[in-house]
Amino acid sequence: MSYQGHFRIWRGDVAGGEIQDFTVEVNEGEVVLDIIHRLQATQAGDLAVRWNCKAGKCGSCSAEINGRPRLLCMTRMSTFTEDDTITVTPLRTFPVIRDLVTDVSFNYAKAREIPAFAPPKGVAAGDYRMQQIDVERSQEFRKCIECFLCQDVCHVVRDHEDNKDSFAGPRYLMRIAELDMHPLDEMDRKKQAQDEHGLGYCNVTKCCTEVCPEHIKITDNALIPMKERVVDRKFDPLVWLGSKIRRRENV
């Protein structure tokens, strides 16, 4: 039932580091995070890793396994053979702090730049009425556990540090879509998505959707519909004319 598995784990900090080899016991039914914990308890007491729930619900234990962004707690050892060597490295898009722990503050900074829910004026708490079918679109995006795997995999920032300023990343573009589709939110968010948060950078390769552990259709259901509506606003002659007239009234 158990065997000695081969692991290669990146260890180091901001000053540099290297992949280190470990041979460690693997038991039936385990996930990669179990192996990391066994290494901590037996061979590397100070091996740094983030984790919380160990049930795929908190999105803390994000790392790259054999080069693919994954949750350590949801990657089962049974998906590998006993002879496979499993390489675990920190998320590449974010600066490393130590071992498998990276500085994900980029994401929290982006979160703060998205204007919050704009509640309907004149509707008291307790009087909100929404139909299930209308909340379901945003509910899909609210399944997000903020593991930041989509942010990590997105090529716009993965290999282009200089895009980070102007691009919020899939998670936060989806947050804008979520608020935009909220039945009672009072703000128009499409222009902001395009102008301030870099929606235009997304060229729909769907890598974010592929790595999402919650299986949210980030590209199809959040980003593409928003792109379409941005396009409508920009090029629809009626919308264009309407906006000109309104602007003139404000003068």
Partner 1 sequence: MSDREVQRHRYDVVVIGAGGAGLRAAIEAREQGMRTAIISKSLFGKAHTVMAEGGIAASMGNVNARDNWQVHFRDTMRGGKFLNNPRMAELHAKEAPDRVWELETYGALFDRTKDGKISQRNFGGHEYPRLAHVGDRTGLELIRTLQQKIVSMQQDDLRDHGDYEAMIRVFDECAITDLMQDGPRVAGAFGYFRETGDLVVFEAPAVVLATGGIGKSFKVTSNSWEYTGDGHALGMRAGASLLNMEFVQFHPTGMVWPPSVKGILVTESVRGDGGVLRNSEGKRFMFDYIPDVFTKQYAESEDEGDRWYSDPENNKRPPELLPRDEVARAINSEVKAGRGSPHGGVFLDVSTRLPAEEIKKRLPSMWHQFKELADVDITKEPMEVGPTCHYVMGGVEVDPDTTAASVPGLFAAGEVAGGMHGSNRLGGNSLSDLLVFGRRAGLGAAQYVGSLGGRHPAVRESDLDDVIGFALQPFETEVGENPYEIHQELQQAMQDLVGIIRRPEEIEDALARLEKFRERATKVKVVGHRQFNPGWHLALDLRNMVIVSECVAKSALERQESRGGHTRDDFPAMDADWRKVNLVCSHAPGSVEVDLKRQPVPDIRADLIALFDRSELAKYLTEAELAALPEGDLT
Question: What stretch of H or E contains 83?
Answer: none
For partner 1, which is the closer residue by CB, 28 or 249? 28
For partner 1, which is the closer residue by CB, 1 or 245? 1
Distance CA 94, CA 14 (A): 11
Rule CB under 8 A: is residue 108 a binding residue for partner 1? yes
Restricted to residues 155-184, the positions that interact with partner 1 (CB under 8 A) are: 179, 182
CA distances from 48 to 12, 16, 101, 109 (A): 10, 15, 6, 24
For partner 1, which is the closer residue by CB, 137 or 206? 137
Number of residues that bind partner 1 (CB under 8 A): 58
Of the candidates 216, 93, 223, 66, the residue with the CA atom closest to the CA atom of residue 146: 216
Distance CA 27, CA 77 (A): 9
Distance CA 54, CA 110 (A): 26
Q: Which of 99, 152, 153, 211 binds partner 1 (CB under 8 A)?
A: 99
- Asked whether 150 and 215 are in contact (CB, 8 A), the reply is no
Q: Provide the mask over 2-41, with x wherever binding to partner 1 is found by CB under 8 A and - wherever it is not.
A: -----------x-------------xxxxx--x-----xx
Distance CA 114, CA 176 (A): 7
Binding segment toward partner 1, per CB under 8 A, in 143-151, 157-165, 224-232, 235-243:
143-151
> Which residues bind to partner 1, rule: CB under 8 A?
13, 27-31, 34, 40-41, 45-60, 74, 76, 97-99, 101, 103-104, 108, 111-112, 115-117, 119, 125-126, 128-132, 135, 138-139, 142-146, 179, 182, 185
